Structure 1
Amino acid sequence: MRFLKDTDGYVLVLTLLFLPVFLGMAVLVIDISRGNNAHSDLQAAADALALAGAVELDGGSDAITRAKAAMENVDNTVHFLGNDANNMQTVLEYEDVADNEFTVIFLRDIPPNDHDPIDQAWVNANATTDGTDAEYVYVSARSEDLYSIFSSVLKPLIRTVPVRANAVAMSQSAVCDVPPLFICNPFEGEGITDLQTAFSNGLLHGRILKLHAKQNQNDPAGPGNFGFLQTNGTSSAADIRDFFAGAPNPTCYESDTVDTKPGYATSIATGFNIRFDIYDAPYRNAQDDYGPAYNVRKGYKPGTGNFCRKQALVDPSTADFMGFPDNGTMGSPTNGAGGVLVGSPDDYGTFTTPAGPGTWDEWDISTYWSVNHPANPTGHTVVESTFDHLGLQPSRYDVYRHEIETELASANNLVAENSTGGETGYPKCSDPDNNVDHVPAYDPADPSAPTGTKDRRVIIAAIVNCLANPFNGQATLPVNSYASIFMVRPIEKSSNNGKGNQDEDATLREGGTIDVEFVDITGFGGNGTLDTFIRAESILVR
């Protein structure tokens, strides 16, 4: 009886009874920790792969090919799946083959709610192999199964547990600190909505675009019209004008959509023209605040005794003064807005790449050069064309850059060289040699230029398809692309002979146009020079 009532050692008995439970719980905790670590590694691998692929989804026809190539350069590791030192770390590498650790699917769309799964039915309806349609990249990562110590003890038939991680990413970009300008695609009426392909084929090279504001506020915008975008903070006419003069724009614009500003696209002429060293009211004394471009040659006769008194010739194509001329053939775009003209091929309306060199790029480069550089009247023959591989002659922008770069590189002074009539390309009205407070004219290629210097005769504009998305006033519009455009000449109206624009609204209503030339375009067909303006990144959405 005493033995039955003896309680000595009961703790040992209880410990022995519960020891398997304690050991099992410890093993379970270890397995859970290993599983969490392995899942974290897999999730990081899926995220990295999705981000690497999504950044290439720019709407190009080869976007998926480039995305897969980018993903193949990403290496990842997963830890704690195995149960010994030899297989505790697994290296994951993406290959576009069957039975790879990664399943990659490109999608046109994803469910609007995060809790809605991307299941097989959704994949069947939204998967794409067309790079122009791919908006999202879906990645599912699964390597070796987790070797479970706990499961193997309890039931040897269940020794491994699958671990999987999923990620979805998309490409996103924004354009920051640029003038709030949009342009209705001038070629939309001809069926050219794929501007990237048109640009890469040279169809936009060397073509002057004479863009016009809407003539009637109640009419919808059409091909060749330009207008303004909404800005953060105040957006009065004076503010918009300042942005075109060079004031920082506090707004970043999305790559996919933009919001237009209602009202007439007017009141910017004097701000725009500062970039050409023309300081009209209200900027007559703004040389301390806004500098011009480095090369402002424009076919103007210099004033006598006062460099700020310039006079535009009624016909700039004279023997003594000459700015960049129009194309040999000019035409109105199909369904284009009133007053809009574009440099056109002889067979205007086809817009297909002809056999041999095109005709849309032809402008009188030889006369321009002989008038402005009489010391070497045939020097234009050494100017390189950005589309020389297609047999196209140098664009106005090519010549403009050649004048600058030759002057900087070899001291040939092409910018400062006098034309036959005495005009130079160097800005005089804002010359710091005349007033130390004036903002110097820098070119980005000049080693002495401040960090972040931009070419003042190149601005960025959003291109939208106004026929496919008719609007009037304020609207949210899909962006076709962003383009850098070269400002060919100042905004003028024939009635004032270039002596100043007291009524800027009248300047644009009476035939004044923004005359520009394409330099580059965002997307797969561009030259990549817009990278400094575009903030491109890929983001995880799931």
Structure 2
Amino acid sequence: MPDLRKALLQSTSGAVAPTVALSLFGLVAAGGIAFDYARMASLDSELQNAADQAALAAATQLDGKTDACSRAASAASALIRNDTRFANDGGGYAVTIANEATCDRTGFIKFYKNKDRSDTGALTDADVNFVEVTVNSRSAFFALTPIVAVLSSGPLSAKAYAGVGGAICKVPPVMMCNPAEGTGQDFPLSTDIGKGIRLVAGGSGGAWGPGNFGYLETNLGSGANVLETALGANVPGGDCISADEVTTKPGLSVSVTDAVNTRFDIYENGLVNYCASGTGNCSPALNTRKDVVRPDISSNGNGNGNGNGNGNGNGNAALNCAVGNGTDPWKLPSVQYLPDPVSRVSTTPTNMGFPRDICHSVSSTGDCAAGRIGDGLWDRALYFQINHPGISPATVASWAGKSGISTLTRYDVYRWEIATSGALAPKSAESVSQGNGNGNTTNYYSYSAPVCAAGMAPSAQVRDRRILSVAVVNCAAEGIQGQTKNVHVEKFVDVFLVEPSLTRSRTNKADIYVEIKGEAEPLSETGAAQAFLRNVPYLIE
């Protein structure tokens, strides 16, 4: 017996069993905690997914129209059904969101105008751009945690913040500094429509401000040729441009405005090959009314017959369509539109395109009260006297649905000329006294319809060639200096190209003169769309 007791005490067989038995309590507890934590995490994911989907559904209704807030709230609470399988608080499967129809910043559905939620003051349906949605809280009671049914996750909820993001595609990558920056006003207001803007290339020294313009990054590459292609192309390549944030592009070049001039039927020597007049890649508008003239295209000589008008200088037999350099045919008229700075009256010009605002026409910088931003007062009477004698501007104002002559814009007249038979004459005599440089006299003519290349008609899928959709940014607030990333876009605005960019006695070739048309209008995405504005809801957080 003593030997048996001693052997039993010294035996190690089965020694691990007590250890396992003791540790089993800890292992079961750890497993239970892991199970319940996974259940709680899954519930949190379900709630967040419900909040995300509800916020996106609400954002789709933020169109600035009547009842936008009400429709957004209804979409958040009822458009999409989300269930939870991990809540066991007796509340059923459905994840719910309390509906409310007021444009405010309270409750489970909150609306904001600014992305950073810095709003102050009351909101309206037209103001709201962003929505925050919070789902009703749910709980998961722990099942396997050692203290069963006593502990729980507590009330869990989730919220999501969404807005409507846009991308504008197949448009020239152009931006301009907000004319209303720092004023507290929106741009453009209804009173801005029809005003001229003298857009001056930024980046040449000094701070960027209202009236400066530049270009945007679209992954097309770098260099003046790339910008020329993008500005002149019927269908610009590159990525779509975000309607919310952009990257400005440095490296401005005077030569890129040559591509803008193709829209006026002007094809300079040395123009990027892609935009040569014979390629059909950079078409003129149907209405190319401008202040330059040329010899009769049916005759030979005088620089308008065989030449290098295909834009790459290789001398192929093509119509020369460059501006006044040696034998280039397009020239300024013998008497230009140059109003006197005091009387505001001009000697009757021998040819007249759409003019600048008078306050921009009296000198190289003008004397407009708002600097580079005009007042919309342009010489309507003289324009009709030169181009449409016998027709009153009031007739066109009535056609355009305007209340009077004072609100008649250049774009209104432009459209009327396209729509009215005979308003775009094939050619009209300008002068018989302008020499051609060799002692002979040459007849020069005004051509209001394209003669160098086939004009491109606007449609539901094609932007008019004299309309640019431009990104408006707050240059001072965004610190624009050459290449600047993540620049917030206030909005895209359509502008009408008033005149070709040429060096004249009072104009600089590097500048672009435009008339404000209004906020950019979306075009159809069907077919071979030339330009369109796409708006899609997106989650912010």
Please give the range of the TM-score, normalised by the shorter of the 2 chains.
0.5 to 0.7
**2:450 alignment counterpart:** 427
Contact 1:175 1:534 in 2 (8 A): yes
Q: CA deviation at 1:213?
A: 2.6
**2:414 alignment counterpart:** 400
CA distance in 2, matches of 1:470, 1:530: 35
SS across alignment from 2:446? coil
CA distance in 2, matches of 1:319, 1:231: 42
Contact 1:296 1:426 in 2 (8 A): yes
1:302-322 CA-partner distances (Å, limit 9, x unpaired): 422347433232514746522
Contact 2:96 2:135 in 1 (8 A): no
1:244-265 CA-partner distances (Å, limit 9, x unpaired): 1116231333334433333444
Matches within 5 A, 1:165-180: 165-180=158-173
Which residue type is aligned with residue 205 of structure 1? Answer: I
**1:95 alignment counterpart:** 100
291, 295, 313: which is aligned to 1:299? 291
Query: What percent identity do the matched residue pairs reach?
Result: 28
CA distance in 1, matches of 2:162, 2:361: 44
Q: Does 1:72 align with 2:74?
A: yes
Q: CA deviation at 1:134?
A: 7.3
- The alignment covers a number of residue pairs equal to 436
Unaligned stretches of 5+ residues in structure 2? 1-34, 299-303, 305-318, 322-328, 338-345, 431-444, 526-530
Matches within 5 A, 1:57-456: 66-73=68-75, 75=78, 76-77=80-81, 94-96=99-101, 102-104=108-110, 106=112, 136-142=130-136, 164-188=157-181, 191-192=182-183, 194-196=185-187, 199-202=188-191, 204-214=192-202, 217-246=204-233, 248-283=236-271, 285-288=276-279, 289-304=281-296, 305=298, 306=304, 308=321, 309-313=329-333, 315-316=336-337, 318=348, 320-330=350-360, 340-341=365-366, 344=368, 348=369, 360-374=375-389, 376-377=391-392, 379-384=395-400, 388=402, 393-404=407-418, 406-407=419-420, 412-416=421-425, 421=430, 423-431=446-454, 440-444=455-459, 452-456=461-465
Bigger-Rg structure (1/2) = 2
Q: Does 1:539 align with 2:532?
A: no
480, 494, 508: which is aligned to 1:484? 494
Distance 1:340 1:195, change over 3 A: farther
Distance 1:512 1:479, change over 3 A: same
Contact 1:172 1:536 in 2 (8 A): yes
Contact 2:47 2:95 in 1 (8 A): no
Which residue type is aligned with residue 269 of structure 2? Answer: A
Contact 1:101 1:142 in 2 (8 A): no
**2:9 alignment counterpart:** none
CA distance in 1, matches of 2:410, 2:75: 40
CA distance in 1, matches of 2:130, 2:511: 40
Contact 2:171 2:236 in 1 (8 A): yes
How high is the TM-score relative to the length of structure 2? 0.64
CA distance in 2, matches of 1:70, 1:475: 35
SS across alignment from 1:516? strand
How high is the TM-score relative to the length of structure 1? 0.64
SS across alignment from 1:240? helix
Contact 2:95 2:135 in 1 (8 A): no
CA distance in 1, matches of 2:287, 2:411: 11
1:393-416 CA-partner distances (Å, limit 9, x unpaired): 121112212222x24xxxx24334
Q: Does 1:465 align with 2:474?
A: yes
Distance 1:170 1:89, change over 3 A: closer
SS across alignment from 1:414? coil
Distance 1:312 1:186, change over 3 A: farther
Distance 1:371 1:52, change over 3 A: farther
Higher RCO (CA < 8 A, seq sep 6+): 1
**1:114 alignment counterpart:** none
Contact 2:356 2:498 in 1 (8 A): no
1:56-96 CA-partner distances (Å, limit 9, x unpaired): 779xxx7997344433355243568999xxx8879867223
CA distance in 2, matches of 1:381, 1:391: 6
Distance 1:42 1:391, change over 3 A: farther
CA distance in 2, matches of 1:473, 1:158: 59
1:347-366 CA-partner distances (Å, limit 9, x unpaired): x3699xxxxxxx93322223
CA distance in 1, matches of 2:122, 2:180: 24
Contact 2:384 2:392 in 1 (8 A): yes
CA distance in 2, matches of 1:135, 1:382: 36
**1:503 alignment counterpart:** none
CA distance in 1, matches of 2:205, 2:370: 28
Contact 2:162 2:540 in 1 (8 A): yes
Unaligned stretches of 5+ residues in structure 1? 1-28, 111-122, 333-337, 352-358, 432-439, 446-451, 498-506
Q: CA deviation at 1:460?
A: 2.0
Contact 2:196 2:375 in 1 (8 A): no
Q: CA deviation at 1:146?
A: 8.8
SS across alignment from 1:427? coil
Contact 1:56 1:64 in 2 (8 A): no
CA distance in 2, matches of 1:268, 1:478: 25
